[in-house]
């Protein structure tokens, strides 16, 4: 039976998110209205009062009415959809969600996933491990049933921003399944809300990994983490934070033998930096400053990618000094794979764009500041030419390296 495109909670989640968006837009328009109608403030005249963000009188009443009606209608719609839930088709636990729905959901979570989680929106993705497209229950008996052929070599694959566990399968290839065939691994795919900060996802993954190791049906002889894009940063964050938090008794990092990062922006991605630059330009114009809020409709996860921040409070991520350097995990064989759109490292496309999203130097951990360089061994880093960021998931050349390193 084909699983439904929409699940019962999706309509309620969309209604809540739409309400939030309309209310936020009304607030933005009011802020611009207030600035335009207020007396201009000249610089350097000692006026320390902040610019007006709210209107008063009849105008203010109109905006407050719009906000009240929006919340009322939104709440009513959400309640109505709740009543309709029994009439909608439900996906059973034995059914995988449709790839189309997962693609839309993970993209939405990547952009505003922190907001969805903070507002308890049903559309927010909760972290889980999956196999064959289905979520796994973290108890030993359930794992024995779901993974009757589970072996001692465990491979955990961690997707990137706005992606999901199903998208490791690309162009009829899946690195996890190929390593299962050629290397005897059992592949487990992490599914998570990529809009949360990398540090938050790292903390959750650290705890989830211990549960996975504790309930694995057979003794683990080799544990490999394979992360694509943001996934490599989440893996590094989890290893780092697990090592710091001795109170939780997290023993799984000692089992990790290999960490492979495919196109991970260890030192940031320029496209997020461009978005931050637009924020600064809009904020510098007195009447356009409220529009900078639109530029800030980027999740904590996206903001973290500007400098490759993997630990700490993202509030300080706008400053270079706010990004604490984190070394590669000790005792783990760490590999870095970078992609280049050009025909060689020195090609113009390679220098300007890297793989289209991540510069080659960032993916290899190179940095002009020696204190921030990541010490990937020369034999454990490679640049794949004429390959885009997503093509790392299906590249035969990339898999040849994975097979050589891991199998």
pLDDT digits 0-9 by tens, 155-205: 999 999 989 999 999 999 999 999 999 999 999 999 999 999 999 999 999
Alpha helix segments (H runs only) across 119-253: 140-146, 175-183, 198-215, 230-244
Same domain, 342 and 244: yes
Residue 239: which CATH number?
3.40.50.1820
Residue 339, beta-bridge partner list = 384
Residue 187, beta-bridge partner list = 155
pLDDT at residue number 26: 43
The verdict on residue 304 lying in a domain is no
The verdict on residue 296 lying in a domain is no
248 Cα distance to chain centroid: 25
Same domain, 174 and 226: yes
Count of the separate structural domains present in the chain: 2
Q: State which residues form the domain around 362.
A: 128-269+323-406
- With 0-12 / 13-18 / 19 or more C-beta atoms within 10 angstroms meaning exposed / middle / buried, residue 266 is buried
Same domain, 56 and 144: no
Find the helix or strand (DSSP H, E) in which 129 lies: strand 128-131
pLDDT digits 0-9 by tens, 353-402: 688 889 999 999 999 999 999 999 999 999 999 999 999 999 999 999 99
Same domain, 154 and 30: no
What is the DSSP code (8-state) at residue 114?
Answer: H
Same domain, 226 and 146: yes
Spell out the long-range contacts of 91-98 with Cβ–Cβ below 8 A and sequence spacing 24 or more: 91/3, 91/4, 91/7, 93/134, 93/135, 94/134, 95/1, 95/3, 96/3, 96/132, 96/133, 96/134, 96/166, 97/3, 97/7, 97/133, 98/2, 98/3, 98/4, 98/5
The residues, any chain, with a CB within 8 Å of residue 167's CB and separated by 6 or more, are: 103, 159, 393
Is the pLDDT at 23 greater than 50? The verdict is no
Query: Given pLDDT bands bounded at 50, 70 and 90, which one contains residue 134?
Result: very high
**Do residues 334 and 240 touch, judged by C-beta distance below 8 A?**
no
Same domain, 255 and 338: yes
**What φ, ψ does residue 170 adopt, rounded to 5°?**
-145, 130
Length of the chain: 407
Find the helix or strand (DSSP H, E) in which 64 lies: helix 57-84
Same domain, 91 and 138: no
Give the pTM: 0.77
Query: Given pLDDT bands bounded at 50, 70 and 90, which one contains residue 282?
Result: very low
Same domain, 65 and 168: no
pLDDT at residue number 335: 98
Is the pLDDT at 271 greater than 60? The verdict is yes
In angstroms, rounded to a whole number, what is the distance separating the alpha carbons of residues 3 and 10?
14
Same domain, 196 and 345: yes
Query: Given pLDDT bands bounded at 50, 70 and 90, which one contains residue 249?
Result: confident
Same domain, 88 and 142: no
Round the average pLDDT of the chain to a whole number and report it: 77
Same domain, 216 and 337: yes
The verdict on residue 274 lying in a domain is no
Same domain, 140 and 206: yes
pLDDT at residue number 84: 42
In angstroms, rounded to a whole number, what is the distance separating the alpha carbons of residues 72 and 235?
42
Highest average pLDDT, of 41-50, 169-178, 305-314, comes from 169-178
Q: DSSP letters of 264-284? A: --TT--HHHHHHHHHHHHHHH
């Amino acid at each position: 039976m084909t699983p439904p495109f929409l699940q019962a909670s999706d309509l309620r989640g969309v209604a809540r998110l739409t309400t939030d968006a309309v209310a936020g837009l009304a607030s933005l328009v009011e802020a611009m209205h207030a600035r335009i109608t207020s007396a201009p403030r000249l610089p350097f005249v000692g006026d320390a009062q902040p610019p007006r963000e709210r209107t008063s009188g009849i105008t203010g009443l109109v905006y407050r009415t719009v906000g009240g009606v929006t919340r009322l209608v939104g709440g009513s719609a959400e309640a109505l959809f709740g009543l309709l839930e029994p009439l909608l088709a439900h996906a059973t636990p034995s059914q995988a969600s449709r790839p189309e729905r997962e693609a839309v959901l993970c993209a939405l979570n990547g952009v505003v996933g922190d907001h969805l989680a903070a507002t308890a929106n049903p559309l927010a993705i909760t972290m889980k491990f999956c196999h064959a497209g289905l979520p796994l229950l973290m108890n030993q008996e359930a794992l024995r049933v779901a993974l009757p052929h589970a072996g001692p070599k465990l491979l955990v694959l961690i997707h990137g921003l706005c992606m999901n566990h199903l998208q490791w399968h690309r162009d009829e290839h899946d690195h996890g399944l190929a390593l299962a065939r050629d290397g005897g691994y059992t592949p487990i795919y992490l599914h998570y809300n990529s809009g949360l900060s990398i540090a938050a996802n790292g903390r959750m993954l650290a705890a989830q990994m211990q549960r996975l190791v504790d309930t694995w049906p057979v003794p683990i002889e080799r544990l490999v983490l394979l992360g694509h894009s943001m996934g490599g940063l989440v893996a590094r964050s989890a290893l780092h934070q697990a090592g710091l938090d001795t109170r939780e008794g997290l023993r799984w990092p000692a089992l990790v033998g290999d960490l492979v990062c495919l196109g991970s922006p260890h030192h940031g991605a320029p496209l997020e930096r461009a978005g931050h630059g637009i924020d600064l330009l809009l904020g510098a114009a007195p009447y356009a400053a409220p529009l900078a809020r639109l530029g800030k409709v980027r999740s904590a996860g996206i903001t973290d990618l500007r400098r490759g921040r993997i630990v700490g409070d993202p509030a300080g991520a706008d400053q270079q000094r706010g990004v604490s350097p984190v070394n590669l995990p000790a005792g783990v064989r760490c590999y870095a794979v970078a992609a280049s759109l050009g025909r060689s490292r020195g090609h113009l496309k390679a220098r300007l764009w890297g793989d289209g999203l991540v510069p080659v130097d960032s993916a290899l951990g190179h940095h002009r500041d020696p204190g921030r360089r990541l010490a990937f061994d020369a034999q454990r880093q490679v640049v794949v030419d004429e390959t885009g960021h997503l093509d790392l998931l299906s590249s035969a050349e990339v898999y040849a390296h994975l097979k050589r390193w891991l199998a």
